[in-house]
């Protein structure tokens, strides 16, 4: 799915590349055919995580930070969760699709709350001021 959208996935934790290999060999390859396809990066000491503001130096681990970076290297969005709660992959994909749409429209279109592919976008401009209620209904915020 990420591939279809032309998105490169990179993962990072404080574990060594040797532990990454063992995890992939012994567990992840049993969940995913052929094992993990993307680079599993090692951030011993949390130096990179610290720069990204998601390294917990009391616990000595990275928190669940997820950053969407566009082709210019600009961070378009991030989400950070504490360790016990997993992410929603569909939400990450939805956000990437929204950012891609906005970028392809060169900023002419914006995606309102609850947008997903197929739902209407908004075209910000003088004519839309005070008129959003005419073209966008609150039902659209929900699936």
Binding residues for other proteins (CB under 8 A):
2, 5-24, 27, 34-45, 47-54, 59, 61-78, 83-87, 92, 96, 99-100
Partners of 18 in the beta sheet?
Answer: none
Residue 123 C-beta: closest distance to other proteins, Å:
21
Of 58 and 139, nearer to other proteins (C-beta) is 58
Q: How far is the CB of 20 from other proteins (least distance, A)?
A: 4
**What is the torsional sign of CA 11, 16, 21, 22?**
negative
What whole-number distance in Å separates Cα of residue 7 and Cα of residue 44? Answer: 25
Nearer to other proteins, 39 or 120 (CB): 39
Name the minimum Å distance from CB 135 to other proteins.
26
Cβ-contact 41, 64 below 8 angstroms: no
């Amino acid at each position: 799915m990420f591939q279809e959208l032309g998105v490169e996935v990179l993962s990072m934790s404080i574990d060594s590349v040797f532990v990454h290999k063992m995890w992939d060999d012994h567990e992840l390859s049993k969940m995913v055919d052929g094992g993990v396809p993307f680079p599993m990066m090692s951030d011993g000491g949390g130096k990179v995580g610290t720069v990204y503001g998601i390294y917990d130096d009391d616990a000595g681990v990275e928190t669940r930070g997820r950053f969407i970076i566009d082709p210019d290297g600009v961070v378009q969005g991030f989400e950070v969760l504490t360790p016990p709660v997993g992410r929603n992959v569909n939400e990450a994909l939805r956000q990437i699709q929204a950012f891609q749409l906005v970028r392809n429209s060169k900023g002419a279109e914006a995606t309102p709350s609850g947008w997903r592919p197929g739902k209407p976008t908004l075209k910000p401009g003088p004519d839309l001021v005070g008129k959003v209620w005419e073209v966008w209904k609150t039902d659209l915020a929900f699936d």
